[in-house]
Structure 1
Amino acid sequence: MSEDKIYDVIVVGGASAAQSSAIYAKRAGRSVLVIADEYGGQINNTDVVENYLGFKHISGPDLAQEYLEHMRDYDIDEETGYKVTDIRKPDDIFEVEREDEEVFRGRSVIIATGGHRRKLGIKGEEEFANKGVGYCAVCDGPLYQGEEVAVIGGGYAGTEAADYLSDIAEKVYVLSRSGVLKGEQITIDKVENDENVEVIRGAEATEFYGENLLEGLKYEQDGEIKDLEVTGAFVEIGTVPNSDITDLVEKNEARKIKVNGEMETGVEGLYAAGDVNNIGVQQLQVSAGQGCQAGLNASEYVKQMKE
């Protein structure tokens, strides 16, 4: 146990929902600990944010830094560098255990762990990971200056990636299994009108191939297997919630933690905010708002617990 100190609120996570939770809980007069393996989350993989209120144009990493600096304006304890592996409640007090086996105790816990990139699970994906197959266009896109690349996925993440890569690559192919592009209309319009972007509709990737590095991929369209020669392929098919840190809570089929409108799980004193839960769309504004709700509600729970 970490010196047997009991925090009022322990926040697990390091991005917008977590930092918003921590700030609001601290402002409500609670002792707060944030446990995160790293800060920023998926926003670190975002090139430019143009739809977050108050910031007309800011890079993802810069916005993540703004969050962190804001949180550090308050007297909030931090534990970083290790992932949380278990959250349990043996009595009225929660125990939060990290992968280094250190345990922290809290009267209330907010899970704000977000998600990680979903994989395709097709032939060659593991073999060519980081050898042409990537999951972050912003991180690895500059390596493909003047080359031909593919984006697999026509959803929000896919259209954003295609738009970003269109300024770097010679040619960008977008494989959309559903046949349509989704996301913000302004981004969809840019992608569909870009001369060096080609949307391949009704296409499902089936295999990555090459020698030491990626040389291309195969996809199925209209019952026919076709070939696409590219040196880079970015898998942008959404995220998987980081919800496996506890078995206390109920989860839906997508492994998202079930909460009500107050961000409450089925366990008293345990909340979940942001992309890890089953409410709302995956947007920064939503995550920050849910973090606010969770922080305030956890604080009220602790207040009543102490009375």
Structure 2
Amino acid sequence: MSEEDVRDLIVVGGASAAQSAAIYAVRSGIDVTVIADEYGGQINNTDVVENYLGFEHISGPELADKFLEHMREYDVEEEKGFKVTDIRKNDNIFEVEREDGEVFHSYSVIIATGGSRRKLGVSGEEEFANKGVGYCAVCDGPLYKGETVAVIGGGYAGTEAADYLSDIAEKVYVLSRSGVLKGEQITIDKVEEDENVEVLREATAEEFYGDNLLEGLKYDHKGEMKDLEVTGAFIEIGTKPNSQISDLVETTESERIKVDEEMKTGTEGLYAAGDVNNVGVQQLAVSSGQGCQAGLNAAEYVKQEKSGLN
């Protein structure tokens, strides 16, 4: 393999952390290749963004488009359509393998793969997936206009979903296992004030049922099993980090990649930014900032590696 076959930096991921990293690395004077199965990430599942600096009110997909447009203002090589399945290191060169078997080589890698929706793992969940059970209220909520639906989860994702669905469905039930709603206080206040939203506290979904389509769910309320008739149920219990991508990284009990304050993993030249790592809260502004930091640090590392070859 010749030096010409080795890229400077490969960024794995297609959302805010990855695109921010790519922009800052290119501006630092190195070549960047972004490998992603798709662009946008979790923000594509967000109805409205009101807490990202500079945008008082913008839809998630629209903001994701703006991030991509911004990245494309720079000379970034794009390899889109395939997931990365493995990242290895041979001497000082990284090998990044895609699911189609193609292998790319680089001096440095940034993992910015974000997370994917968590599942409940209860009876009927798989059977009624896409038949009433869903994981994205913004994506599928309009299908249930004027109907009765449930949101499973009272955290950040759950309260956002309930607020969105309150303008579409006739009735929205929110099942909160802890009994407490979490998230931005402004969203919690709106959910608790909406007349067509009812919060079922200390309620745990145990089973989904129906004939061909979802007809309802059973939930445990303080040890008593109860029934709730709904045509749609949205499981909004957060995300699981997409961290099972390399043996070169160490993860926490929650499967997040361990990094230091500079976004470095335990492997020289390998960084992780955004929701996939164990630093900071999972917010868009944090992911973008971490992408900036990882991009700058990776660029400095690449320059040092290449100067040692001359």
TM-score computed with the length of structure 2 as normaliser = 0.98
SS of the aligned residue for 2:90 comes to coil
In the TM superposition, what is the alpha-carbon distance from 1:122 to its structure 2 partner? 0.2
1:109 matched residue in structure 2: 109
Bigger mean CA offset, 240-249 vs 22-31: 240-249
Write the deviation string for residues 176-206 of structure 1: whole angstroms up to 9, x where unpaired.
Answer: 0000000000000000000000000000000
In the TM superposition, what is the alpha-carbon distance from 1:162 to its structure 2 partner? 0.1
2:60 matched residue in structure 1: 60
For 1:68 and 1:7, the matched residues in 2 are separated by 21
| Distance of aligned partners of 1:140 and 1:3 in 2 relative to their CA distance in 1, 3 Å threshold | farther
SS of the aligned residue for 1:113 comes to coil
**Alignment of 1:90 onto 2:86:** no
In the TM superposition, what is the alpha-carbon distance from 1:91 to its structure 2 partner? 1.2
Alignment of 1:63-82 (within 5 A): 63-82=63-82
In the TM superposition, what is the alpha-carbon distance from 1:210 to its structure 2 partner? 0.3
Write the deviation string for residues 128-181 of structure 1: whole angstroms up to 9, x where unpaired.
Answer: 000000000000000000000000000000000000000000000000000000
1:194 matched residue in structure 2: 194
2:149 matched residue in structure 1: 149
Q: Which amino acid aligns with 1:105?
A: H
Q: Which amino acid aligns with 2:147?
A: E
1:182 matched residue in structure 2: 182
In the TM superposition, what is the alpha-carbon distance from 1:2 to its structure 2 partner? 11
SS of the aligned residue for 2:18 comes to helix
Gaps of 5+ in 2: none
For 1:184 and 1:25, the matched residues in 2 are separated by 33
Native 8 Å contact 1:2 1:103 kept in 2:
no
Alignment of 1:152-167 (within 5 A): 152-167=152-167
For 1:10 and 1:305, the matched residues in 2 are separated by 15
Write the deviation string for residues 37-60 of structure 1: whole angstroms up to 9, x where unpaired.
Answer: 010011111111000000111100
For 1:138 and 1:254, the matched residues in 2 are separated by 26
Runs of 4+ in 1 over 3 A off after TM superposition: 1-4
2:41 matched residue in structure 1: 41
In the TM superposition, what is the alpha-carbon distance from 1:303 to its structure 2 partner? 1.4
1:128 matched residue in structure 2: 128
Q: Which amino acid aligns with 1:102?
A: E
For 2:41 and 2:306, the matched residues in 1 are separated by 33
SS of the aligned residue for 1:29 comes to coil
Give the RMSD, CA atoms, in angstroms: 1.2
1:28 matched residue in structure 2: 28
| Distance of aligned partners of 1:71 and 1:2 in 2 relative to their CA distance in 1, 3 Å threshold | farther
2:274 matched residue in structure 1: 274
2:299 matched residue in structure 1: 299
Alignment of 1:144-293 (within 5 A): 144-293=144-293
Native 8 Å contact 1:2 1:104 kept in 2:
no
Native 8 Å contact 1:4 1:105 kept in 2:
no
The percentage of aligned residue pairs carrying the same residue is: 80
For 1:178 and 1:4, the matched residues in 2 are separated by 55
For 1:227 and 1:51, the matched residues in 2 are separated by 37
In the TM superposition, what is the alpha-carbon distance from 1:240 to its structure 2 partner? 0.4
SS of the aligned residue for 2:230 comes to coil
For 1:248 and 1:141, the matched residues in 2 are separated by 40
For 2:105 and 2:301, the matched residues in 1 are separated by 16
| Distance of aligned partners of 1:3 and 1:123 in 2 relative to their CA distance in 1, 3 Å threshold | farther
In the TM superposition, what is the alpha-carbon distance from 1:248 to its structure 2 partner? 0.9
For 1:46 and 1:235, the matched residues in 2 are separated by 14
In the TM superposition, what is the alpha-carbon distance from 1:3 to its structure 2 partner? 10
| Distance of aligned partners of 1:2 and 1:304 in 2 relative to their CA distance in 1, 3 Å threshold | closer
Alignment of 1:12-27 (within 5 A): 12-27=12-27
Native 8 Å contact 1:174 1:199 kept in 2:
yes
Q: Which amino acid aligns with 1:41?
A: G
Gaps of 5+ in 1: none
SS of the aligned residue for 2:125 comes to coil
Native 8 Å contact 1:116 1:242 kept in 2:
yes
Q: Which amino acid aligns with 1:286?
A: V
